[in-house]
Amino acid sequence: MANIAVKITTIKREAREKLSEGRRVTDMREVEGKTAFISGGASGIGRGMARAFANAGMKVMIGDIEQAPMQALVSELRQAGADADCVRVDVTDRDAVMAAADATQARFGKVHVVCNNAGVLVDGRSEKVDMDNWNWVVDVNLWGVVYGFQAFIPRILAHGEGGHVVNTASMAGMVNFRGSGPYNATKFAVVALSETLMEEHKKDNLGVSVLCPGAVNTKIAESGRNRQGRYGGTDDSVNAPMAALLPDAIDPDIVGRQVLEAIRDDQPYIFTDPGLRRHIAERFRRIGLGFDWAESCEALK
Ligand SMILES: NC(=O)c1ccc[n+]([C@@H]2O[C@H](COP(=O)([O-])OP(=O)(O)OC[C@H]3O[C@@H](n4cnc5c(N)ncnc54)[C@H](O)[C@@H]3O)[C@@H](O)[C@H]2O)c1
C-alpha cells in the first residue's frame, strides 16, 4: 500500500512538471480571491494590470509615488466591486518597499502576485546623461525591482498557495536602442534578474515573468513628473522621441489583460509586439558573428 501511495504521489508530481522546461506548474490558473501588489500601479501599464486583476476577482494593492491618481484608481476599482487599496511608496527606498509589503499583508492577509512595474524613462547617451539622472533611472528601474522581489518572494513562498512575480522590463531589455544607454542598461538588468529567478524557482510554486513591452500609450514620456528632489526634482518636459511613438502605441489595458493571461499560463516572457521578434533575431545574428570570428581568431589558435 505504502508503495502505491508513493507511486501516486510521484506520478502527480511528475504531471505537475512541465516536461519541456522541467518547471513546476504553479497554482495560479485560478486567481479569484488572490492578492496582487503592483508598484507603479497608478498609471499606464500598472493601472492596466490593476484593472485586469480586479476584473478577474483578485484583491489589489496599488503602490505608487503619485498619491492622487492612485486614490482615483482605488475609487474606480471599488466602484466596480473590487477589493482594492493603495499605499504610497517610493520604490527607491528599500524600507518603504518592505513597509508596503507589510501593509499589503496586514490589509489582505496573503500576497500571491507581485508586479515590480514602477519605472522611469531617461533619454540620452550613456556618456552624456548627468549622474543625477543615471542614479535616478538605476534606483527606480533596477533597485525598485530588486527591493520588490526581496520584499514579496519570501512572503509568497511562506504561504505555499502559489504565486507569481512579474518584473516589468522592456524591449529595451532585449535589444539596445540608440540614445538610451542608461534606460537600456536597467532593463537588460531586469531581464537578467528575471531569468535568474526563473531558474532559481523553477521547482517552487512560484512563476516568474518578465514583461517586455514595445511602445505602450502611457505617461512614460512624462516620467520627470515624479523625479525626486535628490535627483534634481520634478521635470515637466516631455520626452519627444517617446511621445512620438505613443499615438500608434498599444493601450495599456490590453497589456494588463495580457499580463493576467501570462500569470495563468505561467508564461515567462511577455511580449506586447510580436513583430519586434526580428530585432532579437538580428541581435543574435550579430552575436553569432562574434562566435564565428572567435573560431578563427589568431589568439585562440
Ligand atoms: N510605455 C511604454 O512604451 C513602455 C515600454 C516598455 C516598458 N515600459 C515600462 O513599463 C513600466 C510602467 O511604465 P508606464 O509606461 O506605464 O509609465 P507611466 O509613467 O504611465 O507609469 C509609471 C508609474 O510608475 C510610478 N513611479 C515612478 N517612479 C516611482 C517611484 N520612485 N516609486 C513608485 N512609483 C513610481 C509613476 O507614478 C507611474 O504611476 C515602466 O517600468 C516602464 O519602463 C513602458
User: Which residues' Cβ are closer than 6 Å to ligand 1?
Assistant: 39-40, 42-46, 64-66, 89-92, 117-120, 140, 168, 170, 213, 215-216, 218-220, 223, 226, 249, 252
Q: Which amino acid is at 31?
A: V
Band (pLDDT 50/70/90 cuts) for residue 130 is very high
Q: Which residues contact 116 (CB under 8 A, 6 or more apart)?
A: 39, 91, 144, 145, 148, 149, 165, 166, 167, 168
**Would the pLDDT of 126 be above 80?**
yes
Note the pLDDT of residue 7.
56
pLDDT band at 16 (very low <50, low <70, confident <90, very high): very low
Which atom number of ligand 1 is nearest to the Cα of residue 66?
37
Q: How close is the Cα of 185 to the center of ligand 1, in Å?
A: 16
3-state secondary structure of 86: strand
Residue 18 pLDDT level (bands cut at 50, 70, 90): very low
State pLDDT tens for residues 217-229. 999 999 999 999 9
C-beta of residue 46 within 8 angstroms of C-beta of residue 39 = yes
**Predicted confidence (pLDDT) at residue 10 exceeds the cutoff of 70:** no
pLDDT at residue 19, as a whole number: 41
Taking the complete model, does pTM exceed 0.85, yes or no? yes
Residue range 286-290: mean pLDDT, rounded = 98
Specify whether 183 is catalytic.
yes
Bridge partners of 209, per DSSP, are 166
Nearest CA to 60 out of 69, 75, 210 is that of 75
Q: How would you label 184-220 residue by residue, b for 16+ Cβ within 10 Å and e otherwise? A: bbbbbbbbebbeebbeebbebbbbbbbbbbbbbbbbb
pLDDT tens per residue, range 83-120: 999 999 999 999 999 999 999 999 999 999 999 999 99
- pLDDT at residue 247, rounded to an integer: 85
CA distance 43 to 96: 20
For residue 250, what is the DSSP state? B
Which pLDDT belongs to residue 5? 54
Task: Tell me the mean pLDDT in the region 267-286.
Answer: 96
CATH code: domain 14-300 is: 3.40.50.720
Confidence of residue 80 (pLDDT cuts 50, 70, 90): very high
Q: What is the Å distance from ligand 1's center to 21 Cα?
A: 31
Task: Ligand 1, residue 90: give the atom nearest the CA.
Answer: 32
* Nearest alpha-carbon partner for 167 in 2, 273, 255, 38: 38
What's the confidence (pLDDT) of residue 198?
97
Dihedral sign (CA 80, 84, 86, 92): negative
Per the prediction, the chain carries an average pLDDT of 93
Please compute, for residue 11, the number of CA atoms within 13 A of its CA located in the half-sphere on the CB side.
Answer: 6
- Which pLDDT band, with edges at 50, 70 and 90, does 17 fall under? low
DSSP letter for each residue of 53-71: HHHTT-EEEEEES-HHHHH
What sign does the dihedral 72-37-222-276 (CA atoms) show? negative
Q: Which residue has the higher pLDDT, 212 or 19?
A: 212
Reported as a single tens digit per residue, the pLDDT across 176-228 is: 988 999 999 999 999 999 999 999 999 999 999 999 999 999 999 999 999 99
